[in-house]
Structures are given as C-alpha cells and as structure tokens.
Amino acid sequence: MFLANVPFGLAVPLFVVTAPPDVRVAYALDLTGTALNVLAFGLFVVGVGSLGIGDERMAMGEIVAGVFCFGLFVRQQLQHPKPMLPFDLFRIVPFAASMWISVCS
C-alpha cells in the first residue's frame, strides 16, 4: 500500500529542478521557531505515549515541558514577521473549527 507513494517521492527532485525561480523561498529558515515546534510536539507526543508504559511522573514532566514549549512557540510566532503558523487564520471560524476537530480526533 505504501509503495504507491514511491513514484511521487522519486518525482520530487524533477519538480524542484523545473520549478520557476519565483516559487522558491527567499527568506531564511526560522531556526528558533523550528526548534520550539519540534520540542513542543516531540515532548508532548513522547509524554502521552509513555503514560501507560513507563514512569508516570516522567511522562507528566514531558507533557508539561511540551505544553510550555508550545506556549513559547506561540509567543515567538506571534512576534515573527513571517510565522510558520499564522495565528490570524484562527479568527476564521470554519478554519478554527476544522483545526480543533482535527486535533481532537
């Protein structure tokens, strides 16, 4: 089933080479936002995954650290001129509702 994606993955370099130059990104990667995003979601997912199989105190610490890093990520992204996640989109009710439904499912 997953082999169906192999041709698409092999075609990506062709698309990158043939892409028009105005499509490419002209600004640097936000390393701080990227690191906070990885820490937030990584710690949260690892913490939730280890709740039932490991030390519950460690798992809760990972979850709390993940939520804390997510708060830092949101704060950093609100101040960034080109955020990874534009939070003004959450003012659009159908978008916000679909995101919450996605998160809860």
Which tens digit of pLDDT belongs to each residue from 38-70?
A: 999 999 999 999 988 878 899 999 999 999 999
Whether 22 shows a pLDDT value over 80: the answer reads no
**62, amino acid identity:** E
Whether 72 shows a pLDDT value over 90: the answer reads yes
pLDDT of residue 17: 83
**For residues 31 and 26, which has the higher predicted lDDT (pLDDT)?**
31
pLDDT classification of 24: cutoffs 50, 70, 90: low
Q: Are 72 and 36 contacting, i.e. CB atoms less than 8 angstroms apart?
A: yes
Residue in the structure block whose two tokens are 């995101």: 99
Those residues with Cβ within 8 angstroms of residue 95's Cβ, 6 or more apart along the chain or in another chain: 89
pLDDT classification of 85: cutoffs 50, 70, 90: confident
> Crossing angle for the helix pair 56-79 and 31-49, nearest 10 degrees?
150
